[in-house]
Amino acid sequence: MKARIVTAAFLITSVIMTNFIPASAAAEADKPVVLRVCNWEEYIDQGDWDDDEVIDLESGDVFGQNPMVKDFEDWYYETYGKRVKVEYSTFGTNEDLYNMLTIGDVYDLVCPSEYMIMKLMADDMVQPLSDEFFDPTIDTNYYIKGVSPYIRNIFETHDINGVTWDRCAAGYMWGITGFVYNPDVVSKEEASTWKLLENADYKRQVTIKDNVRDAYFAAVGALKSDLLTSDEFKNRPDYAMALQDEMNDVSLETVNNVQEYLQQVKDNLYSFETDSGKADMITGKVVANYQWSGDAVYTMDQAEEDDYYLNFAAPRESTNIYFDGWVMLKKGISQDPAKQQAAEAFINFVSRPDNAIRDMYYIGYTSVISGGDDGRVFEYLEWTYGAEDDTEDVTEYPVGYFFSGDPDDEDYILTVPTEQLDRQLGAQYPSSDVIDRASIMIYFDQAQSEVINRMWIRVRCFNILNVPVWVWIAGLLAICAAVFLILRHKAAKEKLYN
């Protein structure tokens, strides 16, 4: 029997071998490069747009017919004459991605948030970008030609162990955090502070994110509200740096205060949500919802379809500016130049202004691409938000900080309906005064993370010491009663049968 199975197995393998070996030998020359990309869920254009969704800019139409990944494969073949096969997979949270990588999943190109990029860099898992990638004279280097000077500056001025971010990471999307709120119930004033979390007028009607970093940032913002909004602090010459230090304060005292604060506001909140906040906001179950700006745009868009208008506000204390960026992983690339070239080409392809527009339109987040000499991204902004000729209440909205690095650049001023300042535009391209009070949340080292995570578990868990005494007594009595009944029942039965 065993012999027969072995023979069968041998036969099957040899059939497979004979079929494959000649084929692969023949195809050695144009064997496609396999590029394993791992990105956030729903974070890239999947194509298949309806015909009426075409973005008809003056300089040409932008339309998502095929998935972005498919377009990249075709473009790569046309440009480099080589085949590339993208194996595209997704992750749900930065932590999930990190866990996947530590389990042993291998990817060539991943797109985590800034703090996870910092962690990966600190763990020496990241393959630096090549020098060619930064050469603006190469025609297909869309990233370096098109990245916003504002984003570029941040990437060049932040480092981990002396290596600046820009050497290892290329930005993809960015945004800020704040509250989506229902303006009929909550005033702009009330929504523009992290203290909305403790506002008893909206008891059980506000949601917060169910992850330690976002909750921590909000709590620190609320706790230090007085300091952060004082003129004295805001007028400090080193305001930006001081703000970042305050918002990233993980001293034991602050961690304890945050714990106490979150435990207090827990009863005032509707829920700690992972993904349900958007739907709860649209269906009106909550009146305000702590949200990332890209999801805020999505929420407002969805609500608008039901003629329900929501607003977005960035807290006056500080808002958390975040980035998602592409990094190549050493383990995946494994010093294969063909692979690295394909990975960098992928970054450049999604950074081409028309592709950046497609992604932005599809997912609602804001691309780091401003376009450089290519004016299409700004054109898209005008196309999306520009006021119609008959709009009465219009405002001039400068976005020069993003497009040219000069906040007052007259070439980059939008004329928009005033209401858009508190709606999608204000979330997708925050005004420069919001940007001024934006703070990055850095990655915490292992010891700090442990302290914060323990704090978080304490906030979320049910402390057994909070169980009132009468519950213990009642429980004990119930158990005694049950044991007594069972014993009596057994005794009665014994008696019956004997």
Partner 1 sequence: MRFSRKTLGIPYAVFLLLFVVAPLLVLFYYAFTNGQGQFTLLNLTGFFTDPNTVGTLFYSFVLALTTTAVCLLLAYPTAYILTTGRLKKNSVVIMIFIMPMWINFSLRITALKEILDLIEGNLAYYPFLNSVIGMTYDFLPFMILPIYNTLAKMDGSLIEAAKDLGANDRHAFLRITLPLSLPGIISGVSMVLLPAMTNYVVLDMLYNSTYIMGSLIGSYFAAYNWHGGSMIALILLGIICLFNLINDDDRGETVKTGGALL
Which residues here bind partner 1, judged by CB under 8 A? 1, 4-5, 93, 95, 98-99, 102, 204-205, 210-212, 266, 269-274, 276, 283, 285, 449-450, 453, 456-458, 460-467, 493, 497
CA pair distance 433, 68, nearest whole angstrom: 34
The CA–CA distances, whole Å, from 283 to 105, 280, 299, 308, 432 equal 39, 5, 10, 10, 32
**235/237 Cα distance (integer angstroms):** 6
Burial of 252 (0-12, 13-18, 19+ CB in 10 A): exposed
- Residue with tokens 């950074």, as numbered in its chain: 351
**How far apart are CB 280 and partner 1 at their closest, in Å?**
9
Name the minimum Å distance from CB 138 to partner 1: 39
Whole-number minimum distance, CB 288 to partner 1, in Å?
13
Select 22 or 92, whichever has its Cβ closest to partner 1. Answer: 92
CA atoms 192, 194, 196, 199: torsion sign: negative
Q: Please, which residue, 252 or 461, has the CB nearer to partner 1?
A: 461
**In the complex, minimum distance from the CB of residue 54 to partner 1, in angstroms, rounded to a whole number:** 33
The tokens for 56 are 């008809």
**DSSP letter, residue 193:** S
Nearer to partner 1 by C-beta: 57 or 269? 269
Spatial contact of 462 and 339, defined as CB atoms under 8 Å apart: no
The label of the residue with tokens 């199975």 reads 5
CB atoms within 10 A of CB 232: 7
Q: Is 476 helix (H, G, I), strand (E, B) or coil?
A: helix
Q: How far is the CB of 434 from partner 1 (least distance, A)?
A: 29
Nearer to partner 1, 384 or 449 (CB): 449
Question: Which among 496, 85, 120 is positioned nearest to 328, based on CA atoms?
Answer: 120
| Paired strand residues for 159 | 164
390 or 494: CB nearest partner 1: 494
Question: What CA–CA distance (Å, rounded) separates 255 from 35?
Answer: 42
Considering the complex, what minimum distance in angstroms separates the CB of residue 58 from partner 1? 43
Length of the chain in terms of residues written:
498
Alpha helices in 44-113 (DSSP H): 68-80, 94-103
114 or 374: whose CB is closer to partner 1? Answer: 114
**DSSP output for 375-407:** THHHHHHHHHHPPPTT-SSEEEEE-HHHHTS-T
Smallest gap, in angstroms, from Cβ of residue 203 to partner 1?
9
Closest distance of CB 483 from partner 1, Å = 13
The helix or strand, by DSSP H or E, that contains position 37, with its residue range, turns out to be: strand 33-40
Give the residue with the Cβ less far from partner 1, 152 or 285: 285
Min dist CB 168 to partner 1, Å, is: 21
Distance CA 294, CA 280 (A): 17
Residue (83 or 460) nearer to partner 1, CB: 460
Is 167 or 266 the residue whose CB approaches partner 1 more closely? Answer: 266
Q: Which of 42, 28, 20 is nearest to 91 (CA)?
A: 42
CB of 223 to partner 1, least distance (A): 21
Calculate ∠ Cα 171-180-41, nearest 5°: 40
Shortest Å distance, C-beta 217 to partner 1: 16
Residues 6+ apart with CB under 8 A from 450: none
If the CB atoms of residues 252 and 465 are measured against partner 1, the closer one turns out to be 465
Q: Provide the b/e sequence for 336-348 (b: ≥16 CB within 10 Å).
A: eebbbbbbbbbbb
Q: Considering the complex, state which of residue 161 and residue 446 has its C-beta at the smaller distance from partner 1.
A: 446
Least separation in angstroms between residue 380's CB and partner 1 is 35
Nearer to partner 1 by Cβ, of 142 and 322: the residue is 322
CB-side neighbour CA atoms (13 Å) of 31:
10
